[in-house]
Structure 1
Amino acid sequence: MRPPVSQPRPQTASPRSEPSRSRAALRTAVVWDVLQDALDRRVKATGRQALDVLDTGGGSGNFAVPAARLGHRVTVVDPSPNALFALERRAAEADVADRVRGVQGDAHGLFDVAERGGYDVVLCHGVLEYVDDPAEGIRNVVDALRAEGVLSLLAAGLGGAVLARALAGHFTEARQALDDPDGRWGTGDPVPRRFTAEQLTGLVEAAGLRIGAVHGVRVFADLVPGVLVDTEPGAMEALLELEAAAAELAAFHSVATQLHVLGETQGTPEA
């Protein structure tokens, strides 16, 4: 089920302004910049200005709507009707409703609502933490890619959770997360599963993709007091620049709140 074809319109905002450089951008800026670079490379490689993008677990469209504003056709698969309603409204407000399609579903039943082998880029953000079988979930999203395509995988990092619990003085919980097979700090932990960079890259490689890049996300943002970012002149931009500089350094992957892996099908040229 291919998304409806529409002609791309001129951009209505600067690409690098999506998502906007705000407090929320601390959670998305690094991933968006990497994703936009991947989209640009696929446009160049395919010779097509409009790509087919699948966003699994895409919710209200934090990445889908900005991608559509660049002219791409985006299908969002999410189990939440409320999130899909918010997506529809957000796409309409951004004047990209004709390029964004929301369908209810999940990673395990992906091909009930999406086309196998029909997408140039697949986003799997915040999904692996919640599926019963992460390996199966990865295989499904990889099977949605065309012969040459890119997977953007974002998942909770183990090290960031351990560090956060320790800095909050919850040392027993920090040790529990460190020792637990799923990286959980206790029964009250809202995240069912966390990963190391090695675990995520192993899953991606086992599904047949080449690792294009690994990034640490929210290395510092969740540790810096909000009052410093909100009140110090220039602090927000400086923190964003620090996050971007540290993201690719392996030394910081082990303490990142989230980990981002870019996987490429074997036929996809290197960047």
Structure 2
Amino acid sequence: MSDPMRPRASLRTAVVWEVLKDALDRQAKATGRESLDVLDTGGGSGNFAVPVARLGHRVTVVDPSPNALFALERRAAEAGVADQVRGVQGDAHGLFDVVGRGEYDVVLCHGVLEYVDDAAEGVRNVVGALRETGVLSLLAAGLGGAVLARALAGHFTEAREALTDPDGRWGEGDPVPRRFTAEQLTELVTASGLRIGAVHGVRVFADLVPGVLVDTEPGALDALLKLEAAAAEQPAFHSVATQLHVLAEKFEA
């Protein structure tokens, strides 16, 4: 696996990064422009925005947290891409108060739908930011992964609660307001007029494997990364993934 992350933290992002990098390459070839306009909603301190900018693209990050945007600015400067990354304070609900409609080749919506009041509206907004042809990268919390994690931790009642709750929450103490199945996410995306390109299960195994095993066994990290990549596109594993990633495309009517 390649940039942006090499240590154990790469287990959380490697699959999405590889898919996104390939999508950016394809979109650049399709448009004939080496430098794309990319919007990262909820992009925080730039975990994806800065590596995307290092590929030569222009990235606008929309995030409600001033602290995250400050960290983004510092991170972009340290990476030498400060002139390619712009941070603005806002959220998916009021997205067009801070960015224009139809101005972006690629939109990232990672870790946003779990927290918005209306997930369908959130998807419609990010799709509205795409140009007539464009790509949406959507990443959200998976229901099955939460159920499995609670069960393996011995919290069987909470696991059953998450399984039956309309929002996929395991109780009042659950920090995540909403989780999704792969079917729910793809329905939201197709309802917005986009065509599904691929669905990936993210962190299928990474959150379940003891950290000491990955850190101490020679070659374990690379082997686990390869396993995650191999399982990501297998529908059988979507139902137990911690996160779900949907790559979708917008075409001219």
TM-score, with structure 2 as normaliser = 0.99
What displacement does 1:18 show? Answer: 1.8
| 2:22 alignment partner in structure 1 | 37
Unaligned runs of 5+ in 1: 1-15
What is the CA–CA distance in structure 2 between the aligned matches of 1:246 and 1:138, rounded to whole Å?
Answer: 26
Q: Return the match for 1:122 from 76, 82, 107.
A: 107
Counterpart position of 2:122: 137
For the residues of structure 2 that align with 1:135 and 1:215, how far apart are their CA atoms? 20
Q: What amino acid maps onto 1:79 in structure 2?
A: P
User: Which of 184, 200, 216 is residue 169 of structure 2 equivalent to?
Assistant: 184
Listed as ranges, the matches of 1:81-230 within 5 Å are: 81-230=66-215
The correspondence for 2:227, drawn from 226, 242, 247, is 242
One-letter amino acid of the counterpart of residue 96, structure 2: F
Distance in 2 between residues matched to 1:28 and 1:133, nearest whole Å: 26
Residues in 1 aligned to 2:157 and 2:129: alpha-carbon distance in whole angstroms: 41
Q: Secondary structure at the match of 2:13?
A: helix
SS at match of 1:174: helix
1:18 maps to 2:15 = no
Report sequence identity in percent.
Answer: 85
Matches of 2:251 and 2:88 in 1, distance apart? Answer: 29
Deviation track 1:3-48 (CA, whole Å, cap 9, x = no partner) reads xxxxxxxxxxxxx632222111000000000000000000100110
User: Partner letter of residue 30 of structure 2?
Assistant: A
Q: Residue 164 of structure 1: SS of its match in structure 2?
A: helix
Normalised TM-score (structure 1): 0.92
* Moved >4 Å (runs of 4+): none
Give 2:185's aligned amino acid. L
Give per-residue Cα distances to partners, 1:185-225, cap 9 Å, x unaligned: 00000000000000000000000000000000000000000
1:61 aligns with 2:34: no
What letter is aligned with 2:24?
A: L
The Cα of 1:267 is off from its aligned counterpart by 3.8
1:17 alignment partner, SS class:
coil
Q: Is the 8 A contact 1:77 1:104 kept in 2?
A: yes
Structure 1 residue aligned with 2:245: 260
Q: State the SS of the aligned residue for 1:120.
A: strand
- What is the deviation of 1:59? 0.3
Aligned residue for 2:149, secondary structure, equals: helix
**Secondary structure of the corresponding residue to residue 66 of structure 1:** helix
Distance in 2 between the 1:125 and 1:147 partners? 21
**Aligned amino acid, residue 135 of structure 2:** V
Letter in 1 for 2:134: G
